[in-house]
Structure 1
Amino acid sequence: MKLINKSMLTAIITLSTASVYYAQQVQDTVSKSKDIEEVVLIGVADIAKDRKTPVAVSTIKEAQIVEKLGNQEFPEILNTTPSVYATKAGGGFGDSKLNIRGFSQNNIAVMVNGMPVNDMENGAVYWSNWAGLSDVTSAMQVQRGLGSSKLAIASVGGTVNILTRAADKKQGGIVSLGVGNDDYVKTLFAYNTGKSAKGWSSSFLMSRTAGSMYADGTKFEGYNYYFAVGYKKPGGKHDFQFTITGAPQWHNQRSFAISIANYIKFNPDQDGTPNRRYNSDWGYLNGREYSARVNYYHKPVMSLNWDWTMNEKSKLNTVFYGSFGRGGGTNTTGTANGANMQSFRDNTTGLYNFDNIYAANQASTPDKGVLIRNASINSHNWFGVISSFNHKINDNMKFSAGVDARYYYGYHYQVVSDLLGGSGYIDKNNKNNPVNLVTATSKAEPTWNPFGGKINDLSERIGYNNDGEVLWYGAFGQFEYTNDKISAFVQGSVSNQGFQRIDNFIIDGVTKSKLGETMNTKTGFKNLFGYNVKAGINYNINEQHNVFGNIGYYEKQPFFNAVYRSNENVAFKDLTNEKIFGIELGYGFRTSNFNANVNLYRTTWDDRYLRRSSLRDVATGKTFYAEINGLNELHMGVEFDASYNFNKFLTLNGMFSAGNWYYRGNATATLFEDTSNLPFNFPGTTSNETQLYLDGAKVGEAAQITAALGATVRPVKNLSFDATWRSTNNLYASLDTYNFAIKANADRGTLKLPNYNLFDIGLSYRINLNNKQQYFTIRGNVYNLFDTTYIAESNTSNHVKQLSDFTTTTSGGVTTTAQQKYDAYMNNPANFYKGLDTSNQVFFGFGRTWAATLSFNF
């Protein structure tokens, strides 16, 4: 394939980082390109090349994002790629979740311009912190499985590379307005100066998004800013680029999965169908929407890229980056005159009555107890550098080597967000100040300070107060061989992760752990060594056919919360690395108008530790978390994707993936209450620890069989219509510690959820003005066209009850047999929904939604 020269590259990526709305301008040129590296400048990012890099890969270009995303969550753009399952989770703005090949996003490496963004303590990716990525993404690549990244990252499920390179942009700008369901409004302005004769260029973007999500009580407001300045002296060897981007936002959430019975109970229509919009985490205060669960955050990222072309054979790519995240999420704590939060729920609407809470708090005093909204702060300072030296030995061989160093300091504590009419709150969790009266409150709003801003005073902190420190040192190397037919690589990386926990609420050398060990305020660093090795080969049989294979082994360090379990300042004694072994085979077929790929994969994951948080016991209303140890999993499957250009009027694309993901052997689980960290006993027992009977059970949270088919029709110039069908099958519930602790329930396996099919449609029209650089673009989308009711995920595996689940009882001289109880249960239609027991805690997917955008390019 003829590579695009520098002038062509400049035209192609003219407005790529300013906004996804620029995509129409470059769509025709980009669609002819097969390799993502021909559209973006790579720097330190490891990008897979078509028919060269031996990994399973899908590339989402800017034009696809502008056409498909609308007001959906950013990861949902990947739902038509094989083995990907992205959901809106509870449905709050930016609360979406991504799963690849059955692995959650905590174990998927998410990279922005080559920089890792997974939380350094738990691997989490908070998409609300990156809500502006859809505005500045020029291309996104998903590498399933081992991936091609040379960094010491554990991409167990895959790697998501998001590229926002901003250099060499042609002068121009855009103004756009987007609207959608539930008062969704988005405004955007962006401008690029173009590259000057002396080599300077800059790009600027600012946007605001606000409204409500589909679920009730989910108002939000988010901003996005992006600024980049680049410099490369004409004919020079050094290319510099500085970027800063951030997305301060707040959004009301739907945090806890709700029982199907309550979705039905709190449907105003009372017609026996679920109210998919129902949200149990909010209510009204003085006639205005008020949420118990508000997330607010601002995580600006600053980076300086330096690309040095030393000579014709050697290059050095380096990025220095830093991030100052500030914010948290709210919940409620305390009691008002002995009444807990659930006592103030309206049994008719299912909402909290915050006016009654306010009145109860005013009638009480801090010593008698008040019910407040608190905020759990999760702020951090993060600095890193990645540097990669690349040397071409000859026309066939090259090698690269580099370093990846990071430092992370996290602040974790609670503050009072709203006293809700109370005069103060007494906290008894600080052993250095056991009776702390707190009257100060912190608004649930993000700070705009890009360098961090306020960290609350010690006297204002309640509940818990601990810091986490992570030191990361990594080194990597890769050797590549290529010729006309073969492309092969061998790579390896090592890393040392040092973890330290600092608890400011304990008395140094005096406070005891649950097991009686003496704890210190600072634990000292616990250093863990990990490594990975990978190898792969691609063989181009001819211009149409290619085959590839790869193999790799990881020794992955456990996360921070596995080192310091049950939130105590004692390092776990029996720590072991998680072990991942993967193997993959693939085949590709290319013609001028038809492309197809087939992949087979098998991944084992042993000695895994998992903490499941935000669990709620229906009987008591208490929230708890589960620490699960000794998980072993096997994930294997097949993937197929293809695209066919019939002619300039019609394009078809489709995919199919089928997986078999299950647990091997059993595991152990320990339960603790969320705030107090006290043991939380399994129902009907006096112990918080038990064995989980998992052997052979299906891994949940993602559909194991997915399919999609899409068509784009261009009947006339500048007008296009697209439609997509997506099918989800073999979707199972998340790991349910309650049910798998009981052998009889565990024998029934993981709860299988009903299959579902969704249809989306879209329409685009471009109006050119006299100057072709000026034009209007109109875009409209309808998602879930037929308003299908479906369950996107379940937190529980409550199977339909059997006779053996009931016992004969006698009360007041009346005996009720097990058979009578079973018959009453089976004869009550309220106990069932689409074959499921209505006690299951689930999230329904959104109903029909829509979005429309009008943009003007100049």
Structure 2
Amino acid sequence: MKSTFLILSSKSSNNFFRKFSFNLQNKVGKTKNSFLFITLGVLSISASAQNNQKVQDSTKTEKLDEVLVNAVRVNANSPITHSNLTKEEISKRNLGQDIPVLMNFLPSVVTTSDAGAGVGYTSIRVRGTDGTRVNVTINGIPYNDPESQGSFWVNLGDFASSTESLQLQRGVGSSTNGSGAFGASLNLLTDAFSEEASGEISNSFGSYNTRKHTVKLSTGLLNNHFEISGRFSKIYSDGYVDRAFTDLKSYFLQGIYKDDNTLIKALTFGNAERTYQAWFGLTADQLKENRRQNPYTYDNETDNYWQDHYQLHWNERLGNNWSTTLGLNYTKGKGYFEQYKTDEAAANFNNLIEDNSDVIVRRWLDNNFYVVNANLTYKKNALEIISGVSYNTYSGDHFGEVIWGSNLAPNTNIRDRYYDGDATKNDFSLFSKATFKLAEKVTGFVDLQGRFVTYKTDGINSDLVNFVTDANFSFFNPKVGLTFKQNDVSSFYASYARANREPNRDDFKAGVTENETLNDVELGWRYHNNKIMLNSNLYYMFYQNQLVLTGQLDDVGSPIRETSGASYRLGLELDAAIQFCKAFNVSSNLALSSNKNKNFNTSINGEVVNLGNTNISFSPEIVIGNALNFYPAERLQLSLLSKFVGEQYMGNIDNEESKLDSYFVNDFNFNYELKPNKIFKSIVLSGLVNNIFNKKYVSNGYFGSFDFSDSSSATGTTTGYFTGFYPQATTNFLLGATLKF
């Protein structure tokens, strides 16, 4: 076996790369092949430099499950800024709220919820960048919607209960699959196999009629090779905002085969969601009048969506130092949201109604998403090389139906479509990344990626305008870094990464056709001993053609973006954990940043004005997280969790009306585990009191402008502004019990 695969000694490695490159050229074209040939050639030099080191069976020291995400994750000594959360850490607050809320206390993270209680439509921002720019993968499979590039956590009900671990990489991070990471990448690993048969029943209840019911079962390893496991969950909440209910039904099923060198995982998971719309927000006056009111009054102003995922993963060890991973995925999504509109013009609905008619419409999405990932890993001592390819293809139909009208046009039938369009997107990427020793205390990191995207649309859009796009993008995304290990407890790192990203569907609709480019420089210091963990880093992210949120929303509540030209984000992040004694520890993080558009132009009062440097929207200059953890008795944990988010602008023109005030919120969390002698292996009692000091705060909103004629103005035009706000819940609680057997 070794004679077959240990081919990285100069001559044989060069022959291998030439043959591999030649074969690939015939399949993916000259441009893509040239990139791969150069990449693998560079990494073969690193491999050859390590050839004389002692051979050891390094792949066998890793858990087979973790190999599934090796291609997108980084290790503790990598020159990539990152944070990890384990299953144990996630479970302490997993009482029904969405994954972004469970990540709220990670560095530079800001979360928000449309319904105000952390259930349903929630979102996450990292370093001021919105969720469409956070690359999300599940077992290495892209999760972001290919068209909008967003991640809809409402379609992953109770997914935290099936998550083994997650890693959040801030900045560009390591090469990953799917939409380019433009502020962060988040990868989730689903449940590992269990050696022993087990069962779990979990129930929680709380404010706003929030409740979660979960059942998990595992056969354990049968005949030392097979395991079948599953989870079924239901989450419901009325929401903090009036009638902003969320109803989620989800499942997770997994079959595993394993032996010493093989892991095969076949899994399927899915979710059916129904949520009442709450994205309209409140004006400042409405916020003062009643912060829980909802402007929508139609009983069925709801979002309804079904999504099912099917994944197959095969990891194989090939000898002492090689392993391969193959991942396949199919995702089916379909759903609609329903809207009631009054006094509408016939032209707005393709003349299916009469003028001044009331109408109820459903706007549909029907999509299919296929993914193939393949990775090859070589590990020997301090050398690790991972090379891989990923291909995904997406097709989606967008159409709208009239399901009722007070005055339908003649010859109109219920469910006639007033618009209909389709889209296809293909995304092919290939990468090679290597970690290798340059000197006794210095480790190098090289990561080269090529990404090739095509996007096509045809048909009529929801505004009844022809929407035809045929775009092609080719990106080269290099990343390099060094880690200097000063001693056993202290290390320094530096890295540079470049990322490119195509516009999303809404950007194309707005006339944006150019890609964005991000250059990310990171400098960090890590200090870890038995009592103290300290991570610190400086970053400078400078952009060309960055698409920043304008603050406005489109007619379905999605944020609108505009190109800001040159811009940057400069910041300092500190992340520390101190173990004062066995019974008490503290975990804290601090993020300070300056986020600026350079020479920003906008139209005010009918004239284009250069405002100079302005603040980038939704980018607070200070974010602090803190956890005080107290263990007064065995198996009892009490935690005070605090979050401070500084003031931020909802637009890019530094208008005072667009400013969101800073807020400081504190939560209390407890966990107590009982160990009964009979029936149950353990009983875990959990509680969470959110916002214990009853802070009335707003974490998100929207801002826009409009022009109107004004004879008193020198230009004859005056610009006015409007704002909307999403109030978050005041003091509320969740209590739960988990029975394990």
TM-score of the aligned structures, taking structure 2 as reference length:
0.83
**Pairing 1:280–2:317 present:** no
**Pairing 1:477–2:444 present:** no
3-state SS of the aligned residue for 2:92?
A: helix
**Pairing 1:841–2:707 present:** no
Shift of 1:749: 6.8
Instruction: Tell me what 1:546 maps to.
Output: 491
Distance 1:696 1:320 in 2: 46
Instruction: Give CA-to-partner distance per residue, 1:344-373, whole Å, 9 cap, x none.
Output: xxxxxxxxxxxxxxxxxxxxx954653223
> How is 1:280-429 mapped onto 2 (pairs within 5 angstroms)?
280-282=295-297, 290-292=299-301, 294-335=302-343, 367=354, 369-392=356-379, 394-417=380-403, 419=404, 422=405, 425-426=408-409
| 8 Å CA contact 1:256, 1:614 repeated in 2 | no
Q: 1:757 aligns with which of 633, 651, 664?
A: 664
Distance 1:84 1:767 in 2: 33
In structure 2, relative to structure 1, the CA distance for the partners of 1:403 and 1:47 (3 Å cut) is closer
Distance 2:423 2:96 in 1: 35
Instruction: Tell me what 1:70 maps to.
Output: 95
Shift of 1:661: 0.5
Supply the AA of the counterpart residue of 1:83.
Answer: S
TM-score of the aligned structures, taking structure 1 as reference length:
0.72
Distance 2:187 2:72 in 1: 8
Instruction: Give CA-to-partner distance per residue, 1:494-514, whole Å, 9 cap, x none.
Output: 1211111120689xxxxxx98
> How is 1:54-453 mapped onto 2 (pairs within 5 angstroms)?
54-89=79-114, 91=116, 93-151=119-177, 153-232=179-258, 234-235=259-260, 237-264=261-288, 267=289, 275-282=290-297, 290-292=299-301, 294-335=302-343, 367=354, 369-392=356-379, 394-417=380-403, 419=404, 422=405, 425-426=408-409, 437-440=412-415
Shift of 1:665: 2.4
> How is 1:752-831 mapped onto 2 (pairs within 5 angstroms)?
752-771=659-678, 774-796=681-703
Shift of 1:240: 0.9
Moved more, 77-86 or 838-847: 838-847
Supply the AA of the counterpart residue of 1:711.
Answer: L
Percent identity of the aligned residues? Answer: 19
Supply the AA of the counterpart residue of 1:134.
Answer: A
Supply the AA of the counterpart residue of 1:533.
Answer: P
Distance 1:750 1:39 in 2: 53
Instruction: Give CA-to-partner distance per residue, 1:759-782, whole Å, 9 cap, x none.
Output: 110122222111596221111110
| 8 Å CA contact 2:550, 2:703 repeated in 1 | no
Aligned length: 666
Supply the AA of the counterpart residue of 1:477.
Answer: S
Supply the AA of the counterpart residue of 2:229.
Answer: S
3-state SS of the aligned residue for 1:63?
A: helix
Instruction: Give CA-to-partner distance per residue, 1:113-171, whole Å, 9 cap, x none.
Output: 11111111121111111223122111111111121235474211111111114334521
3-state SS of the aligned residue for 1:770?
A: coil
Supply the AA of the counterpart residue of 1:638.
Answer: L
Supply the AA of the counterpart residue of 2:181.
Answer: S
3-state SS of the aligned residue for 2:615?
A: coil
| 8 Å CA contact 1:48, 1:57 repeated in 2 | no
Supply the AA of the counterpart residue of 1:95.
Answer: Y
In structure 2, relative to structure 1, the CA distance for the partners of 1:660 and 1:721 (3 Å cut) is same
| 8 Å CA contact 2:218, 2:229 repeated in 1 | yes
- RMSD of aligned residue pairs (Cα, Å): 3.3
3-state SS of the aligned residue for 2:216?
A: strand
Instruction: Give CA-to-partner distance per residue, 1:177-223, whole Å, 9 cap, x none.
Output: 11011111211111000011251111111011113111101122111
Distance 2:509 2:241 in 1: 34
Instruction: Give CA-to-partner distance per residue, 1:775-802, whole Å, 9 cap, x none.
Output: 211111100001111121231279xxxx
In structure 2, relative to structure 1, the CA distance for the partners of 1:40 and 1:734 (3 Å cut) is farther
Instruction: Tell me what 1:607 maps to.
Output: 545
3-state SS of the aligned residue for 1:373?
A: strand
> How is 1:436-835 mapped onto 2 (pairs within 5 angstroms)?
437-440=412-415, 460-462=416-418, 464-482=419-437, 485-503=441-459, 525-562=470-507, 564-566=508-510, 575-609=513-547, 615=553, 628-667=562-601, 691=608, 693=610, 695-735=612-652, 740=653, 748=655, 751-771=658-678, 774-796=681-703
In structure 2, relative to structure 1, the CA distance for the partners of 1:337 and 1:610 (3 Å cut) is closer
| Structure richer in strand, relative to its length | 2
Moved more, 201-210 or 608-617: 608-617
Instruction: Give CA-to-partner distance per residue, 1:541-585, whole Å, 9 cap, x none.
Output: 1111111111011232222444x434xxxxx6x833211111000
| 8 Å CA contact 1:296, 1:327 repeated in 2 | yes
Shift of 1:423: 6.2
Shift of 1:325: 0.5
In structure 2, relative to structure 1, the CA distance for the partners of 1:423 and 1:132 (3 Å cut) is same
3-state SS of the aligned residue for 1:258?
A: coil
Instruction: Tell me what 1:353 maps to.
Output: none
Supply the AA of the counterpart residue of 2:269.
Answer: T
Deviating beyond 6 angstroms after TM superposition, the runs of 4 or more aligned structure 1 residues are 36-39, 622-625, 805-809
| 8 Å CA contact 2:671, 2:687 repeated in 1 | yes
Moved more, 41-50 or 214-223: 41-50
Distance 1:377 1:50 in 2: 42
Distance 1:668 1:558 in 2: 21
Shift of 1:396: 3.4
| 8 Å CA contact 2:157, 2:235 repeated in 1 | no
Instruction: Give CA-to-partner distance per residue, 1:475-509, whole Å, 9 cap, x none.
Output: 11112204763332111111211111120689xxx
Supply the AA of the counterpart residue of 2:692.
Answer: L
Distance 1:583 1:624 in 2: 31
Shift of 1:606: 1.2
3-state SS of the aligned residue for 2:173?
A: coil
| 8 Å CA contact 2:549, 2:617 repeated in 1 | no
Shift of 1:628: 2.5
| 8 Å CA contact 2:434, 2:446 repeated in 1 | yes
Distance 1:627 1:641 in 2: 31
In structure 2, relative to structure 1, the CA distance for the partners of 1:37 and 1:335 (3 Å cut) is farther
Instruction: Give CA-to-partner distance per residue, 1:219-257, whole Å, 9 cap, x none.
Output: 22111100000112x34x332110100111101021113
Instruction: Tell me what 1:43 maps to.
Output: 68
| 8 Å CA contact 2:564, 2:597 repeated in 1 | no
Distance 2:295 2:62 in 1: 47
Distance 2:62 2:694 in 1: 39
| 8 Å CA contact 2:629, 2:639 repeated in 1 | yes
In structure 2, relative to structure 1, the CA distance for the partners of 1:595 and 1:478 (3 Å cut) is same
Shift of 1:522: 6.8
Instruction: Tell me what 1:357 maps to.
Output: none
In structure 2, relative to structure 1, the CA distance for the partners of 1:328 and 1:604 (3 Å cut) is farther
In structure 2, relative to structure 1, the CA distance for the partners of 1:295 and 1:484 (3 Å cut) is farther
